[in-house]
Amino acid sequence: MVSAIVMAAGKGTRMNSKKTKTMHKILGKPMVEHIYDTLEKVGVNNKVFVVGHGRESIMEYLQDKVQYAVQDPQLGTAHAVMQAQHLKNETGKTLIINGDCPLITEETYRLLLDKTTKENPLVLLTTVLEDPKSYGRIIREGNQLLKIVERKDCNDKEVEIREINAGIYCVDNELLWKYLPEVDNNNSQKEYYITDLVQIFRKHGHKVMPLIIEDSEELQGINSMSELASATKWLQRKVNSYWMSRGVNIIDPERTYISTDAIIGADTIIYPTVRIEGKSILGEDNILTEGTYLENVVLGQGNTVKSSRITDSKVGSKVTIGPNSHLRNGCVIADKCNIGNFVEMKNVIFGHDSKCAHLTYLGDTTVGEYCNFGCGVVTVNYDGKYKYHTEIGDHVFIGSNVNLIAPVNIGDYTVLAAGSTITADVKEGDLAIARVRQEIKPGYGFKYLNK
């Protein structure tokens, strides 16, 4: 059995933000979700999030995917662990994690779990810093930890040590709950510190192992907006490097942001300032030009998306979209379609090889195959109270500046004349013209302008 205690009760005063610290996002996803997702990949059975300040936002976001313990008041790291009473009678290993350390990888957690054995029932992550600053120094003898010395308590020799405690632990769960009552608050802050477990375990004859992680940035805690930006850059580089190694052509990795949940096919070309968020899945040979934003999008193969925004939608293959198009709310675009500049679609099914070249709004609409939309077409789907659906058949030609007042059904092989406002169904093969006949009043133009 593998459990995890995630300490996410802190206020994060240095963030200078109304938002709970661990709800700040990295590559479009809150810190707590990054940690949750990684623990899922590792196969952690019991996840207890210890919450305090702003707990409502964390609990609303993660809902019933995890268990919760409330730390109020907040009296130190060991005090946070003590609140996770759900795990008191469990066996196996328990990870103890800071909620503001979202970058730790699946591989690191697996290594930490592997190193935690009967011989070494307490293992903690360490790293080496050029400037250890105020971090606790690691005093070791071979692969055994003797003690952690806080910066203010270091002697001249100890202060030169650059290996520091990262604050991430794995421990035998039965021993954890056996020895937690021995942690006291006899210190200037009157708080209970998890680091005291090192001396307690050693006092009872147990070995404690310090496990060095070479990339110190992976272990970084996030306590300010500056550190949030630094963490985002680290994860951005890691994600982009992975996809480039898989054959994705990211032209400017420093200006491309890809979600950790995205999947991208080989030979896709991604231009600068593209952002791919959520659980987007992209096939091979796609081209995404500058300024494109995708969120929870399934994209087939061989598409070109030019400076456009697509969310919660599915696009087939060999489709051209944009520039400056907007597809949202469950659009489904079939193969070989052309959706041009300044076209917006909302909840639209757009059939095979249909074309909508420019300046058009389609909402709550089903479009058949081989249809063509002129400039300025609008499906008028909202009457101020309800949304209505428009049904358009195959091989339909719709002229420029046509309004379709939903609900309305347009049959196959129909033509809607430019400038028409269509309020009634049009049967298969018909031509619909719905516009006022033009009237000329000689000389009235001069009269109007002379006013």
Neighbours of 157 (CB within 10 A): 9
422 shares a domain with 292:
yes
Distance of CA 29 to the CA centre of its chain: 3
- The 3-state secondary structure of the chain reads CEEEEEEECCCCHHHCCCCCHHHCEECCEEHHHHHHHHHHHHCCCEEEEEEECEHHHHHHHHHHHCEEEECCCCCCHHHHHHCCHHHCCCCCEEEEEECCCCCCCHHHHHHHHHHCCCCCCEEEEEEECCCCCCCCEEEEECCEEEEEECHHHCCCCHHHCCEEEEEEEEEEHHHHHHHHHHCCCCCCCCCCCCCHHHHHHHHCCCCEEEEECCCHHHHCCCCCHHHHHHHHHHHHHHHHHHHHHCCCEECCHHHCEECCCCEECCCCEECCCCEEECCCEECCCCEECCCCEEEEEEECCCCEECCCEEEEEEECCCCEECCCCEEECCCEECCCCEEEEEEEEEEEEECCCCEEEEEEEEEEEEECCCCEECCCCEEECECCCCECCEEECCCCEECCCCEEECCEEECCCCEECCCCEECCCECCCCEECCCCCCCCCCCHHHHHHHC
Structure tokens that stand for 62 in this block? 């993660």
**Phi, psi for 425 (deg, rounded to 5):** -60, 150
Specify which residues 390 forms β-bridges with: 365, 408
Residues in the chain: 451
352 catalytic per annotation: no
The predicted pLDDT at position 151 comes to 81
Domain assignment present for residue 323? The answer is: yes
Task: Using DSSP bridges, classify how beta strands 332-333 and 320-321 pair: parallel, antiparallel or unpaired.
Answer: unpaired
* pLDDT classification of 12: cutoffs 50, 70, 90: confident
% of the chain with per-residue pLDDT over 90:
91
pLDDT band at 132 (very low <50, low <70, confident <90, very high): confident
Q: Residue 287 falls within a domain, yes or no?
A: yes
Query: What's the CA gap between 12 and 101, in Å, rounded?
Result: 13
Residue 207: domain span: 2-219
140 and 33 fall within a common domain: yes
CATH number of the domain to which 30 belongs? 3.90.550.10
The domain spanning residue 253 has which CATH number?
2.160.10.10
182 plus 277 within the same structural domain? no
- Where does a domain end: 180, 204, 219? 219
Residues 57 and 204 in one domain: yes
Kindly report, residue by residue over 326-361, the tens digit of the pLDDT: 999 999 999 999 999 999 999 999 999 999 999 999
DSSP lists the bridge partners of residue 387 as 382
| Beta-carbon-side half-sphere exposure of residue 221 (alpha carbons within 13 Å) | 19
**pLDDT on residue 298:** 98
Is 16 in the same domain as 162? yes
In a domain, residue 213? The reply is yes
Residue closest to 96 by CA, chosen among 199, 217, 197, 204: 197
Distance CA 49, CA 36 (A): 10
Q: Is residue 92, in this structure, part of any structural domain at all?
A: yes
Banded model confidence at residue 227, pLDDT cuts 50, 70, 90? very high
Question: Please, which pLDDT band fits residue 188 given cuts at 50, 70 and 90?
Answer: confident
pLDDT over threshold 90, residue 118: yes
The confidence score (pLDDT) of residue 4 equals: 98
Q: Which two tokens stand for residue 170?
A: 């794995």
Is residue 450 domain-resident?
Answer: no
- Beta-carbon-side half-sphere exposure of residue 30 (alpha carbons within 13 Å): 17
pLDDT at 154: 86
246-272, pLDDT tens digit by residue?
A: 999 999 999 999 999 999 999 999 999
Average pLDDT over residues 128-157: 88
What mean pLDDT value characterizes the chain?
96
pLDDT, position 11: 83
Share of the chain above pLDDT 70, in %: 100
- Whether 451 shows a pLDDT value over 90: the answer reads no
CA distances (Å), origin 307, targets 248, 266, 286, 355: 19, 21, 13, 18
Number of folded domains that form the chain: 2
Kindly state whether residues 249 and 201 are assigned to the same domain.
no
Best CA proximity match to 426, nearest among 391, 376, 402: 391
Same domain, 201 and 259: no
316 shares a domain with 201: no
Q: Which of 79, 358, 389, 395 is catalytic?
A: 358
For residues 266-292, average pLDDT: 98
What is the pLDDT confidence band of residue 149, given thresholds at 50, 70 and 90? confident
Q: Quick check: 123 pLDDT over 90?
A: yes
Residue 275 half-sphere exposure toward CB, CA atoms < 13 A? 12
In a domain, 227, yes or no: no
Cβ–Cβ < 8 Å for 51, 61: no
pLDDT at 437 over 90: no
- Whether residue 446 lies inside any domain: the answer is no
